[in-house]
Structure 1
Amino acid sequence: MADDTHGSLTWGLKKSFREYVSGISDRNIALDGVEEATEGSFTFPISDGTSTSEDTTFSAMGTLIVRAHRGMLLVRIQDPHVTLSGSAGSLSAITRPTGERQQLCRLDVKVREAGALILRVELADDGAPLFGDIYPPGTVMDDVTLRLPREKR
């Protein structure tokens, strides 16, 4: 489990995606600085961030790469970044080796409790191609849990 002192971002992408990938014989899930959490979700440690009563911005670090079908399926999520203003915001990440950051999802706060946020996640227009356009924009993905670093609570 990630060190709660520094905070973490945990996301399972989408349960049906994980189930699909688990049935592919040549699947490969590579983690660099990311831990596999419960029920197939992934935990990225927080590297930087700020949180006020209205605005929250946190950057996580690490890389998750899901490969299958001899590389035809390739999902790369590196250094995810959460930005919230009030109760809405976005999740972006580097999705290509070129270092280009894309907005993957729109976020809405579902639960705000001491030290953590549970965020409702909808796939954004730019996020759909990452999943091969199997999920259209607006698809509800798995929730994101953002555990704030102790000093930011």
Structure 2
Amino acid sequence: MPKTFNDFWRCVWENNCCVIVMTTKTIERCCNKCGQYWPLAEETSCDFGQYHVHNNGVDEHKDWIITSLVVNDTKTGITREITHMQFISWPDYGVPLSAVAMLDFRDKVREYQSHATKSMGSLWTGHPLGPPIVVHCSAGI
């Protein structure tokens, strides 16, 4: 998986994505489910090819974790803010106990996407709901 991290960040960058949604834990049942493609601890950084990713803060909730990332393209010097939103109440090979947490999470994703799109102002000329949201889990959905 680490071999794909540079490509992942290039995809996020090239598509102007502001929100990444992850519906898995990195490790479940002692198995790696997803590589750690972002810096986990606050005020730490990782380099993925030409992208320098800095963890600007973590906001933990019962069912999800929101991480504020600052991504710098070291070749151009351009910096962007990206929100990583991880839903942690979806069990491996199962479904959440209640739809309420997932629906609340969806609303939170929409809130962050709307805020990010508005902050882009006239720089965003695409779809009115904003750039694509990257959504992934461990099972390919």
TM-score bin, normalised by smaller chain = 0.3 to 0.5
Looking at secondary structure, tell me which structure has more helix per residue: 2
Normalised by the length of structure 1, the TM-score is 0.32
TM-score (normalizing by structure 2): 0.34
